[in-house]
C-alpha cells in the first residue's frame, strides 16, 4: 500500500503506517518486544527502558519512542540489549512481592511476561534484595484497591487519569526509593479527586490496582450498559449464573472501551438477592407474585381506565432517546395528556 512504510525487524519484512512506533509495528506483526509503560491509548514516554532495540546506523534506541521509517533495519536481540533488559527487570522485581499465585493479575501480568522472556538470575536477585517495610495497601476506595508494593512506577495510571480522564487525581510522589503513586498529600483515594471510573485499573500492567473481590469469568457476553441513554458497549464477565466483571467494548463507537463508575462497577444489582425477577400484583391489599400475562393485562386495563389528566408518565434516563420519544408519544397521543416528565430533571 502507498501509505505504508516498509522496514525489517529481526530479518522479517513488515509494513506499518507512517508515524507508528517500532514497538507498535512489531507487536501488530506478532513480534514481541518487552515493555511495561507503553499502552496504545497513551502517548509513549519511555519510562521502563525495556523496549530497547538496535537500529542499523543509529545504535540503541527505545522502540516505543522511535517512529518507523522506510528501509529501517531493526534488531531486537543482542548481548548488549539482553544485558540491559535483564538488569532493568531484576531491579524492578528485586523487592516485588513473590506471591504471584495470590495476585489478581496472575497469568495476565506484564511483569511476569517480561521476566519470563528476559530471564532473571536468582542468585543476583538474592544479593540485590534488601529488607524493606511493606507499604500499606489503600483499600479506601469502594471498588478497587491500590497496593504500592506491586507498583512498578510505569506511570500508566497517572497518564490515564490526566490525559484521558482529565481528572489528575494521582501523580508521582516523593523521590528515590520512596517514590510512589499517590493522590495529593498522599491522602486515601476515597478522599481524593478520584472519580472511581476504573480506567487506571484496567490499564495497570501488574497487580498494583485491582478490583475488590476480583474473579475470573468463564465467558463474556457482549451487551449495552443499562445505566443511561448513551449506550456504552460492555462485555459482562459471567461465571456460572453470576456476573463477576465488566469491561468496556473497544469497538463500540459510543465509548471506545471507556466506562464511568456505574458502568464498570455498578453491576451488583444483577444478582442481588432483593432483585425482583417476576411481576407482582396487589390482591386483597397484599402484593403477590403473578404471571407476566396477568400483570401485562392488568397494566393495559388500568391504562385504559386512566386516559386523560388522571394519567401521568415519568421517563427514564436509562432509556434511549428513541424509547423516551415513544413514551412521550404514548402519553400525549394515546393517553391524551401532557403530564410527562423525566427523571433527569428531578
Domain ends where: 188, 214, 240? 214
pLDDT at 62: 96
E strand intervals along 206-331: 209-211, 219-224, 233-239, 242-248, 280-283, 286-289, 313-315
Separation CA 252–CA 258 (nearest Å): 10
Separation CA 241–CA 164 (nearest Å): 34
Please report, in tens digits, the pLDDT of each residue of the chain (346 residues total).
458 999 999 999 999 999 999 999 999 999 999 999 999 999 999 999 999 999 999 999 999 999 999 999 999 999 999 999 999 999 888 888 888 888 989 889 999 999 999 988 777 777 777 767 789 999 999 999 999 999 999 999 999 999 999 999 999 999 988 899 999 999 999 999 999 999 999 999 999 999 998 899 999 999 999 888 788 999 999 999 999 999 999 999 999 999 999 999 999 999 999 998 899 999 999 999 999 999 999 999 999 999 998 999 999 888 888 889 999 999 999 999 999 998 877 5
Backbone angles phi and psi of 158, in degrees to 5: -65, -45
In a domain, 287, yes or no: no
Spatial contact of 159 and 170, defined as CB atoms under 8 Å apart:
no
In which domain, by residue range, is 50 found? Answer: 5-128
Query: Quick one: how far is CA 146 from the chain centroid?
Result: 15
CATH number at residue 146: 3.30.70.20
Domain ends where: 72, 93, 128? 128
Same domain, residue pair 99 and 137: no
In a domain, 205, yes or no: yes
| Total domains in the fold of the chain | 3
Domain ends where: 128, 145, 178? 128
Same domain, residue pair 11 and 35: yes
Same domain, residue pair 173 and 74: no
Count helices and strands in the chain by DSSP H and E runs: 9, 16
Same domain, residue pair 9 and 124: yes
pLDDT at 125: 77
The pTM of the whole model exceeds 0.75: yes
pLDDT at 190: 95
For 196, left (φ over 0), alpha (ψ -120 to 50), or beta?
left
Q: End-to-end distance of the chain based on CA atoms, in angstroms?
A: 56
CATH number at residue 76: 3.10.20.740
Query: Quick one: how far is CA 314 from the chain centroid?
Result: 34
pLDDT at 2: 53
In a domain, 295, yes or no: no
pLDDT at 229: 78
Separation CA 310–CA 337 (nearest Å): 8
* The C-alpha cell that represents 55 in the structure block: 537500529
Spatial contact of 330 and 314, defined as CB atoms under 8 Å apart:
no
Pairing of strands 340-342, 313-315: parallel
In a domain, 227, yes or no: no
pLDDT at 343: 83
Amino acid at each position: 500500500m502507498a501509505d505504508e512504510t516498509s522496514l525489517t525487524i529481526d530479518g522479517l519484512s513488515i509494513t506499518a503506517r507512517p508515524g507508528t512506533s517500532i514497538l507498535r509495528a512489531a507487536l501488530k506483526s506478532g513480534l514481541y518486544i518487552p515493555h511495561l509503560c507503553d499502552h496504545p491509548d497513551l502517548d509513549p514516554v519511555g519510562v521502563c527502558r525495556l523496549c530497547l532495540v538496535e537500529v542499523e546506523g543509529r545504535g540503541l534506541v527505545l522502540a516505543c519512542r522511535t517512529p518507523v521509517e522506510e528501509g529501517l533495519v531493526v534488531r531486537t536481540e543482542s548481548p548488549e540489549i539482553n544485558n540491559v533488559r535483564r538488569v532493568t527487570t531484576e531491579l524492578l522485581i528485586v523487592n516485588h512481592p513473590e506471591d504471584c499465585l495470590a495476585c489478581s493479575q496472575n497469568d495476565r501480568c506484564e511483569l511476569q511476561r517480561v521476566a519470563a522472556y528476559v530471564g532473571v538470575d536468582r542468585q543476583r536477585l538474592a544479593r540485590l534484595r534488601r529488607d524493606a517495610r511493606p507499604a500499606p495497601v489503600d483499600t479506601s476506595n469502594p471498588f478497587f484497591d491500590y497496593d504500592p508494593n506491586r507498583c512498578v512506577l510505569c506511570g500508566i495510571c497517572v497518564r490515564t487519569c490526566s490525559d484521558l480522564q482529565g481528572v489528575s487525581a494521582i501523580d508521582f510522589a516523593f523521590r528515590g526509593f520512596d517514590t510512589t503513586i499517590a493522590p495529593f498529600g498522599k491522602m486515601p483515594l476515597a478522599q481524593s479527586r478520584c472519580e472511581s471510573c476504573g480506567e487506571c485499573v484496567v490499564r495497570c500492567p501488574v497487580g498494583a490496582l485491582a478490583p475488590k473481590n476480583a474473579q475470573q469469568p468463564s465467558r463474556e457476553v457482549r451487551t449495552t450498559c443499562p445505566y443511561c441513554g448513551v449506550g456504552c458497549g460492555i462485555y459482562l464477565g459471567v461465571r456460572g449464573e453470576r456476573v463477576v466483571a465488566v469491561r468496556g467494548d473497544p469497538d463500540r463507537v459510543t465509548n471506545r472501551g471507556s466506562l464511568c463508575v456505574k458502568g464498570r462497577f455498578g453491576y451488583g444489582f444483577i444478582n442481588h438477592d432483593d432483585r425482583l425477577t417476576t411481576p407482582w400484583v396487589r390482591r386483597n391489599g397484599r402484593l403477590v407474585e403473578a404471571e407476566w400475562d396477568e400483570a401485562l393485562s392488568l397494566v393495559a386495563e388500568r391504562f385504559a381506565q386512566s386516559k386523560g389528566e388522571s394519567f401521568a408518565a415519568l421517563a427514564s434516563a436509562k432509556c434511549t432517546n428513541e424509547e423516551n420519544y415513544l413514551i412521550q408519544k404514548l402519553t400525549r397521543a394515546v393517553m391524551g395528556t401532557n403530564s410527562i416528565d423525566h427523571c433527569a430533571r428531578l
